[in-house]
A and B are shown apart, each in its own frame.
Chain A
Amino acid sequence: MNLDPVIHAPVRLQIVSLLATANEAEFSFVRDSLEVSDSVLSKHAAALETAGYVHIRKGHVGKRPRTWLKLTDQGRTAFREYVATLQQIVGQPLTDVTQEAG
């Protein structure tokens, strides 16, 4: 069973996991949640965009420029397959996080 090398890199796995929970997330939210620097996030987001897994959109809220990251359909499919593969390897289902979140 092969794991998608694009996703399997640690920071990219975190980015894709985070984006999978949302429709779209602001760059600073992803950066703060993952506790990485702007440059690290930019580099890995660009790699995911090149792979077609993430769409990067520049926008504005009021006069402030904001960058939004979104998992593409291809990225979402790749992440789903990646998780399924992991589950097969480990042989355990994911827990229901919403029971614990909060």
Chain B
Amino acid sequence: MDRVPSPAEALAEIERTQRKGYAGQRLPIWWLPAVVALITVLSTAFELHGAARSVLLVAVALGLAVMTAVLAHRVRVKSRRQVWTPRATAWLVAWVVPFLVLFGITPPLVWLVTDSAIWPKIISGIAVSLYGVLTLRWAERQIMAGAKGKVAQ
């Protein structure tokens, strides 16, 4: 775009540019499994005693610190406060509820097979992470569509 654009070209350029702007505001895909992993390790730590528990708790604290530092270091664009809508809320709830369901039903199902206190937590962590990774970008699009509407803000 070296010359002055026509109105139609300018509108098209605004749309193209704003797509890049919104894409830059998305969190990296790894943040969700990282959070789930930390929760899984934390809950596993409470099943253990002594030095093993202490090691896992320290690992969780370190992991949280590293994740926060990496995310803060990567931030190149700060999101605007969006106009939240019932539609966006409904999409968010619809996306979050399966997390709770998976966290709720996976451990007892795995426990039936393994009779272990730790494996159900690990398997449910993996299941929740998979669900999150596979649906994160789709859920973001639905929620953003409900919250933002048109491109020009």
List chain A positions with a Cβ less than 8 A from chain B.
3, 8-11, 13-14, 17-26, 28-29, 33-34, 61-62, 76, 79-80, 83, 86-87, 89-90, 92-102
**Interface 9-mer from B7-15, B32-40, B54-62, B107-115:** B7-15
**With a CB–CB cut-off of 8 A, which chain A residues contact B3?**
10
The answer to whether A22 and B19 touch (CB under 8 A), given A93-B150, A96-B145, is: no
A92 & B137 in contact (Cβ 8 Å cutoff): no
Given A23-B78, A98-B145, 4 more A-B residue pairs with CB atoms under 8 Å apart are A13-B10, A18-B17, A21-B21, A25-B21
Q: Could you give 15 example pairs across A and B, Cβ below 8 Å? A: A3-B7, A9-B4, A10-B5, A14-B17, A17-B21, A18-B21, A22-B21, A22-B78, A23-B78, A25-B77, A25-B78, A83-B14, A86-B10, A96-B150, A97-B18
B14 & A17 in contact (Cβ 8 Å cutoff): yes
**Interface 9-mer from B22-30, B44-52, B97-105, B119-127:** B22-30
B94–chain A nearest beta-carbon distance, Å: 17
Binding site secondary structure of chain A? helix
**With a CB–CB cut-off of 8 A, which chain B residues contact A99?**
141, 145
B150 closest partner in A (C-beta): A94
B90–chain A nearest beta-carbon distance, Å: 16
B96 at the interface (CB under 8 A from A): no
Q: How far is the CA of A10 from the CA of B15 in the complex (A)?
A: 14
B145 & A102 in contact (Cβ 8 Å cutoff): no
**With a CB–CB cut-off of 8 A, which chain A residues contact B21?**
17-22, 25, 33
Q: How far is the CA of A102 from the CA of B26 in the complex (A)?
A: 9
The answer to whether A10 and B22 touch (CB under 8 A), given A23-B79, A29-B77, is: no
CB contact between A98 and one of B8, B14, B22 (< 8 Å): that residue: B22
**With a CB–CB cut-off of 8 A, which chain A residues contact B144?**
98, 101
B4 & A21 in contact (Cβ 8 Å cutoff): no
